[in-house]
């Protein structure tokens, strides 16, 4: 991104300290880039240490500033606590948290094992809550003003067949956003969420459109805007919710999907037509991606 891609004045995020989970790839990396460009100190975490280090290096070479890679598995509460101790010791409290890390894959629900459900729910539902709780306890004890945003999907409003563990987990985080906005809003910690439509990323496409990535986005005529989202559009919304000046926005989940949700439901209902063979093929492709990524994990 260049400064012209962003809507904001230079230095808007100076003095802000933001942690973005899953910030080494995809949408997390884009939000990290925007915060860095606007002057924040940015921490990015994930399980693949080298991916994080490369991302941090790339962003700092492009924009200067400080982006710190932290290998951390958000499914492990003790690992979260150690990471937050290190961040707090490295210049003080965070002022922003972006719950962006997620796991997802398409599958017929009857093909899931309980471990398959847990693989997603433990990252999205539990991991994001553990992260929010640990940060929240610190902020409330210190009286720090902070903004939390969670990256959800429009399925929080209508569910999504074939991604049921994700839809259930994201809906849980939507409830967290609304609940804690009220419980902690008056004590300086506000909560909002973003529900993106399709923003092609490697991690998402390999698990939600395996083998058909290019075809899947070449015809977007079902979307009222006839296109996928642009990364800078997402980054602008995230910065708005994190930055000083939007403090009275609290408890909201904002879709950024070109009105796909209103037009089509924005979910995977169309996969009802798939054959047994299609599902088998897709399962193999997703498992290959999962194995490749797992081999790169350092925590
Ligand atoms: C059925 C499957 C499966 C599949 C895995 N499993 N793939 N079951 N169909 N296609 C089952 C496995 O068989 C196993 O159960 C269980 O899930 C755990 O699998 P592991 O590979 O051991 O899991 P793990 O290493 O913990 O990896 C977690 C993961 C992986 C979620 C499966 O994909 C991951 O780490 N993803 C992170 C990145 C990611 O998913 N990004 C996409 C975000 S996009 P058994 O019983 O066999 O042991 C997104 C977009 C939403 O969220 C909105 C778009 C519009
Ligand atoms: P992505 O690149 O696969 O991002 C997922 C990130 O989460 C990865 O960096 C991954 O890193 C990290 N992660 C997963 N499990 C983790 C764990 N246990 N601990 C720490 N980090 C973990 O996919 P994306 O498309 O950018 O998705 C980002 C967010 O946007 C997700 O919440 C997704 O649901 C949401 N979203 C995306 C779209 C879209 O169109 N792209 C649409 C709607 C919502 P490691 O594997 O290294 O841990």
**Residues of the chain with confidence (pLDDT) below 50:** none
- Among 20, 24, 27, residue to substitute to test ligand 2 (most atoms within 8 Å of Cβ): 27
Contact 71, 298 (CB under 8 A): yes
In whole angstroms, give the CA distance from residue 148 to residue 150: 7
Contact 103, 125 (CB under 8 A): no
3-state helix, strand, coil in the chain (%, to 5): 50, 15, 35
Please give the helix or strand (H or E) that residue 201 lies within, else none.
none
- Per-residue pLDDT tens for 82-122? 999 999 999 999 999 999 999 999 999 999 999 999 999 99
Backbone angles phi, psi at 145, to 5 degrees: -85, 130
Query: What pLDDT score was predicted for residue 116?
Result: 98
Query: What pLDDT score was predicted for residue 218?
Result: 84
Distance from Cα 289 to the centre of ligand 1, integer Å: 9
155 CA: nearest ligand 1 atom:
53
* Atom 1, ligand 2: residue with shortest CA distance: 203
Measured from the CB, is residue 258 less than 6 Å from ligand 2?
Answer: no
Distance from Cα 286 to the centre of ligand 1, integer Å: 8
Contact 263, 223 (CB under 8 A): yes
Measured from the CB, is residue 203 less than 6 Å from ligand 1?
Answer: yes
Measured from the CB, is residue 114 less than 6 Å from ligand 1?
Answer: no
Give the N- to C-terminal CA distance of the chain in Å, as an integer: 30
Query: What pLDDT score was predicted for residue 214?
Result: 64
Query: What pLDDT score was predicted for residue 105?
Result: 96
Residue 44 β-bridge partners: 20, 69
Distance from Cα 102 to the centre of ligand 1, integer Å: 10
29 CA: nearest ligand 2 atom:
26
Query: What pLDDT score was predicted for residue 229?
Result: 97
Domain ranges of the chain: 11-295
* Atom 35, ligand 2: residue with shortest CA distance: 151
Task: Dump the DSSP string for 204-251.
Answer: HHHHHSTT-HHHHHH--TTSTTSS---HHHHHHHHHHHHSTT-TT--S
Residue from 254, 245, 249, 252 nearest 9 by CA: 245
User: What is this structure's pTM?
Assistant: 0.98
- Whether domain 11-295 has CATH 3.40.50.720: yes
Distance from Cα 119 to the centre of ligand 1, integer Å: 6
Query: What pLDDT score was predicted for residue 216?
Result: 77
Distance from Cα 233 to the centre of ligand 2, integer Å: 18
Please give the order of strands across the beta sheet that includes 253-256. Answer: 67-71, 41-46, 17-21, 96-99, 146-151, 189-196, 253-256
Q: Give residue for tokens 């606590």.
A: 81
The two tokens of residue 120 are 């997603």
């Amino acid at each position: 991104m260049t400064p012209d891609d962003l809507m904001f004045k230079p230095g808007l995020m100076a003095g802000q300290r933001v942690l973005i989970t899953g910030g080494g790839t995809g949408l997390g990396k884009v939000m990290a880039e925007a915060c860095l460009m606007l002057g924040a100190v940015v921490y990015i975490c994930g399980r693949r240490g080298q991916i994080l280090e490369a991302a941090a290096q790339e962003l700092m070479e492009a924009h200067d500033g400080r982006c710190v890679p932290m290998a951390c598995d958000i499914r492990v509460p003790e690992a979260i606590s150690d990471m937050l101790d290190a961040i707090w010791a490295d210049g003080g409290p965070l002022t922003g948290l972006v719950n962006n890390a997620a796991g997802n894959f398409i599958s017929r629900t009857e093909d899931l094992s309980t471990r398959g459900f847990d693989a997603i729910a433990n990252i999205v539902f539990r991991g994001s809550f553990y992260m929010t709780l640990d940060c929240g306890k610190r902020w409330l004890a210190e009286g720090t003003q902070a903004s939390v945003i969670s990256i959800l999907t429009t399925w929080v409003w209508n569910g999504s067949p074939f991604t049921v563990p994700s839809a259930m987990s994201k809906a849980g985080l939507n409830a967290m956003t609304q609940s804690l906005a009220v419980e902690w809003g008056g004590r300086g910690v506000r909560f909002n969420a973003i529900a993106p439509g399709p923003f092609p990323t490697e991690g998402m496409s390999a698990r939600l459109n395996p083998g058909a990535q290019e075809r899947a986005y070449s015809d977007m005529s079902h979307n009222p805007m006839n296109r996928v989202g642009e990364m800078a559009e997402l980054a602008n919304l995230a910065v708005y919710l994190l930055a000083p000046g939007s403090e009275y926005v609290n408890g909201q989940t904002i879709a950024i999907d070109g009105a796909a949700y209103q037009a089509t439901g924005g979910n995977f209902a169309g996969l009802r037509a798939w054959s047994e063979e299609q599902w088998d093929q897709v399962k193999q492709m997703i498992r290959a991606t999962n194995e490749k990524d797992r081999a790169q994990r350092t925590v």
